[in-house]
């Protein structure tokens, strides 16, 4: 039961319960194409997403066989920064690699 407040001074100093929701999360996804070399995709996964060799190869193979692979789950700003980094690396090496971010529905 909340405390009973008897005057304005108490109201100004009364603790208010704060409910903070976690920030919305986004998954960063690499999309397959027929031109970007597999070793470049592994390099991107290691450089941008800090994946180890085995995990980078696993994600690269998922992109290759399933058409897409999730690189990580981040807050909106971090996800957008990672997408931008991938697109810059791909453009600098003249590869058509595509990367996007998708919102993850909040869990109930």
Q: Per residue in 16-50, pLDDT tens?
A: 788 888 899 999 999 999 999 999 999 999 999 99
Residue 53 sits in a domain whose CATH number is 3.30.1390.10
Confirm if 102 and 80 have CB atoms less than 8 A apart: no
Please report, for residues 5, 15, 36, 98, the alpha-carbon distance to residue 12 in angstroms, rounded to integers and kept in the order given.
Answer: 10, 9, 61, 53
Strand order in the sheet with 25-31: 68-75, 25-31, 98-104
Domain presence at residue 63:
yes
The domain in which residue 104 lies consists of: 35-108
Confirm if 85 and 48 have CB atoms less than 8 A apart: yes
pTM summary value: 0.80
Q: State how many domains the chain has.
A: 1
Confirm if 44 and 89 have CB atoms less than 8 A apart: yes
Q: Which residue has the higher pLDDT, 17 or 99?
A: 99
Q: What whole-number percentage of the chain has pLDDT above 70? A: 85
């Amino acid at each position: 039961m909340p405390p009973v407040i008897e005057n304005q001074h108490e109201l100004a100093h009364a603790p208010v319960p704060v409910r903070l929701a976690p920030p919305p999360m986004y998954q960063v996804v690499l999309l397959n194409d027929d031109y970007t070399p597999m070793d470049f995709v592994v390099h991107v996964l290691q450089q941008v997403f800090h994946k180890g060799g085995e995990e980078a190869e696993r994600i690269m193979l998922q992109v290759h066989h399933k058409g897409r692979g999730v690189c990580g789950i981040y807050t909106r700003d971090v996800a957008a920064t990672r997408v931008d980094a991938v697109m810059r690396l791909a453009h600098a090496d003249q590869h058509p690699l595509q990367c996007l971010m998708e919102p993850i529905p909040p869990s109930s």
